[in-house]
Structure 1
């Protein structure tokens, strides 16, 4: 039996992102994000119930400020004491793991989807999903962009506005576009 586009996505194969099953999953995520954004903070708590229920894993004390967007939600794993500030976007076509005590500044963007480079195949809406892993106690400054397939090691810092195109070793600080190691933390 042929694989569904969702099964291809989960398996890390090329898939068509315009598919009825994926459309329905994105609509469910949009509803959950909408609930999260519209609830009063006292009613919502750290994360609105529908949004929390979507996630693959979510520690009780993880917190997401409003104006948040995710593609599916089902691939997001949030560790203990994770803080996601206002305006963050997670396009979770693959697994996105954010480790304990990590913080994302305002408007951080995490992308797992990579569209096909061949223009004819791109017209067919083909993309591949590459996971993103953010270790424990990582600080990602506001406006940073994390590209598909990137791993950021424990205790690393990503400077505001940086574009992370490659893995970041534990304990280092990276800045710029593309992000490069800055040197010792002070």
Structure 2
């Protein structure tokens, strides 16, 4: 339908006029849900999760976005299972933001799908565009990072705090900086060292719990 032309163009990554998007497709509902979430007391996490499940287009099990949060539409964001985002995150979802399972996001991270023409004359006509962002499984994005339109972040990679990601991130690597560049690959030594640290944690906790249980029995 002609009245859906600009909305469909927006989702297709083509130029569109936001002012010509029909009322049916406007972002008002997402903004209202955002407001409800941000005004919900912190001691009501079940209510927050229920509202977030209504806000996002997909919201997997065991997900939580720490308020306050900010969206454009909200419904163009698809989030997998076991997701956590800290406070003040922004999802500027004029196009789709697709996030995998077991993804961790630090505070004040921004996902920008929106873009504007380089040519000033075209930009002054208020034409804009949006490109999707894809975050694969087991990614960790450090606080105050910015993910720009059209970016894919590969599985198991880490984005250092304060990064501006302007290019796709390969899987299994650490990137950082402005613009973000590959710092190094995640290697076998990393896996070995962290598995060893986790094992030491489990053993120490087991001993501590055993000692506490022994004291209680006495």
Per-residue displacement from partner, 1:68-95 (whole Å, max 9, x unpaired)? 1010011100100010110100101111
Query: Could you tell which deviates more after superposition, 99-108 or 41-50?
Result: 41-50
Q: Is the 8 A contact 1:46 1:64 kept in 2?
A: no
Alignment partner of 1:83 is 2:84: yes
Q: Give the length in aligned residue pairs.
A: 186
TM-score normalised by L of structure 2: 0.79
Spell out, residue by residue over 1:56-111, the C-alpha distance to the aligned partner (whole angstroms, 9 max, x if none): 21113110000110100111001000101101001011110111000110000000
Give CA deviations for 1:145-176 in whole Å, capped at 9, x if unaligned. 00000000000000000000000000100000
Q: How far did residue 134 of structure 1 move?
A: 0.4
Indicate the larger mover: 94-103 or 50-59: 50-59
Task: Show the 5 A alignment for 1:34-113.
Answer: 34-45=35-46, 47-113=48-114
| Cα distance in 2, alignment partners of residues 127 and 147 from structure 1 | 15
Q: 1:22 to 1:112 in 2, by over 3 A?
A: farther
Q: Which residues of structure 2 form unaligned runs of 5+?
A: 191-218
Separation in structure 2 between the aligned mates of residue 20 and residue 57 of structure 1, nearest angstrom: 23
Normalized against structure 1, the TM-score is what?
0.92
Q: After superposition, where does 1:2-21 map in structure 2 within 5 Å?
A: 2=2, 3-19=4-20, 21=22
Q: Is the 2:107–2:143 Cα contact (8 Å) retained in structure 1?
A: yes
Residue in structure 2 matched with residue 145 of structure 1 by the alignment: 146
How far did residue 5 of structure 1 move? 1.3
Cα distance in 1 for partners of 2:15, 2:48 equals 32
Q: Which residue of 1 aligns with 2:208?
A: none
Runs of 4 or more consecutive aligned structure 1 residues displaced over 3 Å after TM superposition: 46-51
Residues in 2 aligned to 1:6 and 1:40: alpha-carbon distance in whole angstroms: 34
Higher relative contact order (CA 8 A, sep 6+): 1
Counterpart secondary structure, 1:18: helix
TM-superposed deviation, 1:177:
0.4
Match of 1:121 in 2: 122
Structure 1, unmatched stretches of 5+, are none
Q: Report which of the two has the higher share of helix.
A: 2
Larger radius of gyration: 2
Closer, same or farther: CA 144–131 of 1 in aligned 2, 3 Å:
same
Q: Which residue in the other structure is 1:154 paired with?
A: 155
Q: CA deviation at 1:19?
A: 3.2
What is the Cα deviation at residue 23 of structure 1? 9.3
